[in-house]
Structure formats: C-alpha cells, structure tokens
Amino acid sequence: MAQTAESLQPTKRKSHALPYWVEPTFTVVALGLFGLYTLWLVFFQSSGQFHNYLSPFFSPTESWGIKVLPAIWVLWSPLLFRATCYYYRKEIYRGFFHDPVSCAVPESRKYYFGETRFPFSWTNLHRWFWYVAVIVLVFLWIDAVQAFIFNGHFGIGLGSIIMLINVGLLTAYTFSCHAFRHLIGGGSQKFSCSDGRPTTRYKWWNRVSAWNEHHGTYAWISMFFVWFTDVYIRLLMNGVIHDVRFF
Amino acid sequence: MPDEITLSVYRGDKSGGQEVEYKVPIQTGMVVLDALHFIQAHDAPDLAVRWNCKAAHCGSCSAEINGSPKLLCKTRVDDYVGEVIHIRPMHSFPVIKDLVTDVSWNYEKLRQVPAFQPAIKAPFTLQQRDVDRIQEFRNCIECFLCQNICHVLRDHDAKDRYWGPRLMIRIAELEMHPLDTGDRLDLLKGAAGVGMCNITKCCTVVCPQGIDITDNGIIPLKERVADVYWDPLGGLVRKLHK
Ligand code: SF4
Ligand code: SF4
Ligand code: FES
Ligand code: FES
C-alpha cells in the first residue's frame, strides 16, 4: 500500500472529557476484582445461604447429582454469558487487549485476527449462553420470591428488597441483550403484515431496541449488584451485620 | 477571544511531509475549512484540501484535527481557542497531496457488494416501519471517517481481510431491505470479513451522521452470520418455518 501520513494521538477535547485511559483502566480494575472475588467464592466458599436468602452465586442449589464445586455449578453459565456479551467484549478488547485501548490511539501489537479464530470466534455462541442465562434467571426469581417468605409467612427484610432489585437488574440486562434483540425480531426482514399493520415481532423488537440502548449500563449495574447481594448475605451469614426487618 | 489562531497544517505528498504553521484571524462562526481557505487565499495557494458542500453533506472534507477524525467544515475554530489546531490527512488512506487522500479503495469495495435484488418489479409501496432501519444507514455521506478510525484498517492495515464499517452498513442496508432477495452472508463472513470487527465502536463515535454503525448495523450482521454458521438449531427452526 502507498504511504499513509503519520497521525497524532487524539488530544482531550472538552475540558470535562476524561483522559482516554480512564475507561479501560476502570474496566480492568472492575472486572479484575470481580474475577478475583469469584475465584475466592469458587475455591473457598461452599455455600451462600442465610435462612431464606440465597446468594445469586449459589443458585440453584439443586445440582441433580452433578458433582462439582457448588459455585462452579452455577457460575460457568453467567460468566460465559457475560464474557461473550457484545458490550463486555468491547470493554474487554479495549481494557485487556488494547485492541484499541481507545479510539485513534495507536496499537503496539501488529498481530490481529479479530473474532475470526478460536477462542474469539466462539463469541458467536453468545445466544446459546443467553438461553442458559434465562433458565438461571427463572431460579433467581424463585429465590427472590422466597426471600419474602420468612418461616412460611410473608415478610419484608432489607435482604428481600436487595434480592428483588438484583433479579430485576439481571432481567433488564438479559432482556436488553443484542442476541435477544435479533432473535425476537431483528432477524426478520419484514415488519408489516399484509394488511399493513405491524407484526408482533416488530413490536417486540422495537421495545427490546429501546432497552438495548441501556445495555451497557445494565451490564455494569447488574454486575455490581450481584456482587453487593453476595457480600450482604455473606455478612449476615457471618453475623457481622443483622438484617433489617420492615415487617 | 483572541484575534487569531494558529493552524499547523500537514504539507506533503506520498513521499512524506511535515506540518507548517499559519496564523489566521478568527471570525465569528468560523469553521476549520474557512481557516484553510484563508490560508489558501493569503499564504499558500497550493494547499490541497478536498471539499464541496461546506455543509456536512458531501463527505469530502474528512481529515484529522488534533488527532481526532472530523469533517473540516463541521468543526468550529472557537472549539480550539488557546490551542494550536493540528490538521492532518486521514491516516488510513494514502496521501495524494497535503490533506487530500486517496479513498478509491472504498469505492472499489462498494462495487463488489451484490446490488439490490428486489422480489418484485419496481415501483412498489413499502410501509415506513419496514424501511426505518435502512434509512438510518442511507444517511451515510461516505466521508469514510469510520473507515479511517477503524483500528482494523488504521493500525493493522487489514484491507485485504476487512472491508470496514462503511461497507458493513452498506451490506446491512441491503440485507435488511424488506424486498431484497440477495444473500450476502457468505461474502460477509468471507471476503468482507465481519469477524474482524471486534465491536469496539470507534466507528460509531466518529460518524458525523450519528449512525449507530455498531449496534444497529454490525452486531445485527454478526447475528445473521451466527444464524447460519453457529446455530444449527435456529437454522432447523427457520427451515421448518418456511
Ligand atoms: S466497531 Fe468494528 S468496524 Fe467499528 S471501528 Fe471498531 S472494529 Fe472497526
Ligand atoms: S457511516 Fe458515518 S462515518 Fe462512515 S462513511 Fe458514512 S457518514 Fe461517514
Ligand atoms: S449482548 Fe450483552 S448479554 Fe447479550
Ligand atoms: S465540505 Fe462537504 S462535508 Fe465538508
């Protein structure tokens, strides 16, 4: 190819704009700490239950005779679901691989094959992890309902509210997914019936598209909230704090 | 506001070049292209810059301003008060002269995309909701700023393996047309190389037309490729459905 001109590193534009390395650094720190916490759970914690509160890292408790570490039994699917998520992929490629670390910032590595080869080509399996994530979500909703049942009676504790918010955020994250947006309607070529009215798939696609715009926000908030929920239950388990019962 | 601003403009050709500084008096509402015209009129009549509309519509005046790809005619000088404005040609394409680059590769690739193949003969009537999606892509002014910023083309010069975001939304526009019968998925997965995109979204950030290139164009295309190559179950369901 003919000569191209040297380029400059982009300078900070607006006075309130953050330096380019802030976002990738945040990604590395947040995902790194979350990963370490998860490993600690997998290898050093065998349960996450405090009475009727069950940590999302340990749900479902039923393993149908499959013998693995309790946290691994539950964690492989959400972890693969998130690792193949289009939003996290962007953050991971930028933060961990510097591919690119930020727009127009030159890359140091010359070797690049994108998502055309293993292991990155396997991100194409994202929809399969979405199917599993929906099954896990059903269990989490059951747990959230159970968090409102204290010894057979309805009640509300701070833990019940935390678990409800947690599953709500995970639902928002799961159903704002790009693969779901495609499956529900994005994949069809036509959005109108022969009488000119919108198809059901169109209506759903439209709705999911609106949720999808906030997918990145849901990704972060739901991740931090899952983390927080586990910490809360673990503190209860160890008697460090006491649950607040509203009634 | 100061009375004048300094522009440091790349001067050179395919054999190389360097930035040259010019002082330009600031006028209200002045854009960078105006400042370059001032330089052409007063200091350097041989300064090469491509432009046509001066209204962010023709996509001719793409360049890099202080390291960020932008349209020269849409970037205001008063955004840079207190700084020197460095103006360089697009990095991903060969320089012809000064700020003018050779973007013909993009047109070559555009010609290689199989054209619209309508199921029925025109004229036909379509519902607006069926074409909303593709009209977003038709807002493209072919400025190629997205091609310029895409790290696959910019840092890896992988033009032989990836056709870039502009070409992706051209393919999406055809694939999503309600009456199109063409099949471009093999091309997409093969020569056009949608798998080379790692959805890091810089193309979306720079698009002056605000096209959601990655979320609305490239990711749906990746999902269409996954339908065929990564989802035998989905493929079976679709076959039975037909
Ligand atoms: S999202 Fe894909 S096409 Fe757009 S700049 Fe990034 S790698 Fe290139
Ligand atoms: S998609 Fe946007 S950035 Fe890319 S060529 Fe078209 S208008 Fe320019
Ligand atoms: S794209 Fe993020 S969960 Fe599917
Ligand atoms: S001159 Fe037409 S887009 Fe700038």
The domain tally of chain B equals: 2
- Pick the residue whose CA is nearest to atom 3 on ligand 1: B165
Q: Please give the Cα distance from B164 to B194 (Å, whole number).
A: 8
Q: The CATH number of the domain where B88 resides is what?
A: 3.10.20.30
Residues B70 and B93 in one domain: yes
ipTM of the complex as predicted: 0.91
A188 touches B: beta carbon within 8 Å = no
Specify whether B95 is located in the same domain as B194. Answer: no
Quick check: is A146 in a domain? yes
Q: Is residue B241 part of a domain?
A: no
Considering the domain architecture, whether residues B113 and B96 belong to the same structural domain is answered as: no
Q: Of A212, A137, A203, which Cα lies nearest the Cα of A181?
A: A212
The nearest alpha carbon in chain A to B130 belongs to A191
Let me know if residue B34 belongs to a domain.
Answer: yes
- Domain membership of residue B213 (yes or no) is yes
SS3 at position B97: strand
Select the more confidently predicted residue: B232 or B179. B179
Task: Work out the mean pLDDT of chain A and round it to a whole number.
Answer: 89
Choose the residue to mutate in A79, A80, A86 for probing ligand 3, maximizing ligand atoms within 8 Å of C-beta: A86
Nearest-atom number in ligand 3 for the CA of A180 is: 4
Together in a domain, B113 and B8: no
In this structure, the answer to whether residues B161 and B134 fall within a common structural domain is: yes
Is the confidence at residue B23, as pLDDT, over 80?
Answer: yes
Q: Do B200 and A90 touch (CB under 8 A)?
A: yes
DSSP, residue by residue, A78-97: HHHHHHT-HHHHHHHHHHTT
The count of structural domains within chain A is: 1
Contact between chains at B234 and A127 (C-beta distance less than 8 A): yes
Q: Of the residues B36, B50, B57, B103, which should be mutated to test ligand 4's pocket, given the most ligand atoms within 8 Å of the CB?
A: B57
pLDDT band at A11 (very low <50, low <70, confident <90, very high): low
Q: Are B176 and B119 contacting, i.e. CB atoms less than 8 angstroms apart?
A: no
CB contact (8 A) between residue A10 and residue B68:
yes
- Maximum Cα–Cα distance for chain B, whole Å? 71
User: What residues are paired with A53 via a beta bridge?
Assistant: A50
How large a percentage of chain A has pLDDT more than 90?
69
Q: Which residues of B touch A193 (CB under 8 A)?
A: none
Mark whether B112 and B45 lie in a shared domain: no
Q: Are residues B146 and B42 in the same domain?
A: no
Nearest alpha-carbon partner for A126 in A169, A186, A83:
A83
Quick check: A86 and B16 CB within 8 A?
no
Q: Residue whose CA is closest, atom 6 of ligand 2?
A: B140
Q: Are residues B49 and B169 in the same domain?
A: no
- Of residues A186, A193, A190, the one with CA closest to residue A207: A186
Q: Is residue B239 in some structural domain?
A: no
Q: Measuring from atom 3 of ligand 2, which residue has the nearest CA?
A: B207
DSSP state of A180: H
**Mean of pLDDT values over A71-90:** 88
The closest of B226, B220, B228, B225 to B134, measured between CA atoms, is: B220
> Which tens digits make up the pLDDT trace of B214-227?
999 999 999 999 99
Q: Which of B101, B119, B135 is the last residue of a domain?
A: B101
Structure tokens at B105: 């590769």
Amino acid B141: pLDDT: 97
Q: Is residue B144 within 6 Å of ligand 4 at its C-beta?
A: no
| pLDDT tier, A1 (very low <50, low <70, confident <90, very high otherwise) | very low
Distance from CA of A209 to the nearest CA of B (A): 9
**Residue at B226 is within a domain:** yes
Contacts of A187 in chain B (CB under 8 A): 220, 223-224, 227
Contacts of B223 in chain A (CB under 8 A): 127, 178-179, 182, 186-187
Radius of gyration for the alpha carbons in chain A, expressed in angstroms and rounded: 22
pLDDT for residue B242? 58
Structural domain boundaries, residue B16: 4-101
CB A133, CB A207: distance < 8 Å: no
Q: What is the CATH number of the domain that holds B166?
A: 1.10.1060.10
Tell whether B163 and B215 lie within a shared domain.
yes
Q: CA A107, A110, A113, A118 torsion: positive or negative?
A: negative
Nearest CB to A191 within list B129, B162, B226: B129
Residue B109: pLDDT band (50, 70, 90) is very high
Nearest CA to ligand 1 atom 8: B150
A113/B196 Cβ within 8 A: yes
Burial (0-12, 13-18, 19+ Cβ within 10 Å), A91: buried
Please, which pLDDT band fits residue A67 given cuts at 50, 70 and 90?
low
Query: Per-residue pLDDT for A13 more than 60?
Result: no
Contacts of A13 in chain B (CB under 8 A): 66, 68, 79
| A1–B177 CB contact, under 8 Å | no
Residue A134 lies in a domain: yes
Query: Which phi-psi region, left, alpha or beta, contains residue B127 (left: φ > 0; alpha: ψ -120 to 50)?
Result: beta
- Would residue A185 count as lying in a domain? no
Binding pocket residue ranges, ligand 3, CB within 6 Å: A 85-87, 126, 130, 177-179, 215
Would A246 be classed as within a structural domain?
no
Ligand 1 atom with least separation from CA of B196:
7
A5 found inside a domain: no
Compute the average pLDDT of residues A122-142.
94
Which of B71, B101, B131 corresponds to the end of one domain? B101
Question: What is the structure's pLDDT at A17?
Answer: 75
Closest CA to B165 of B215, B228, B128: B215
For residues B190, B194, B198, B203, the Cα torsion angle rounded to the nearest 10 degrees is: 140
Question: What pLDDT score was predicted for residue A68?
Answer: 66
Same domain, B92 and B16: yes
Query: Among B57, B85, B101, which residue terminates a domain?
Result: B101
Is there a contact between B129 and A4 if contact means CB atoms under 8 Å apart? Answer: no
The reply to whether B238 falls in a domain is no
Instruction: Please say if the pLDDT value at position B142 is more than 60.
Output: yes
Ligand 2 centre distance from Cα of residue B211 (Å): 7
**Residue B161 pLDDT class (50, 70, 90 cuts):** very high
What DSSP designation does A47 have? -
* Cβ–Cβ < 8 Å for B59, B206: no
* Ligand 1, atom 2, residue with closest C-alpha: B197
Q: Are residues B153 and B199 in the same domain?
A: yes
Is the same domain home to B92 and B114? no
pLDDT of B101 strictly over 60 = yes
Residue owning the nearest CA to atom 2 of ligand 2: B207
B230/A125 CB distance under 8 A: yes
Residues of A in Cβ contact (< 8 Å) with B99: none
Q: Report how far apart, in Å, the C-alpha atoms of A19 and of each of A13, A105, B9, B70, B163 are.
A: 9, 12, 25, 19, 30
Instruction: Please give the residue range of the domain that contains residue A106.
Output: 22-176+214-237
- A60-64, A78-82, B167-171, B187-191: least confident range: A60-64
Q: Would you state the pLDDT for residue B14?
A: 87
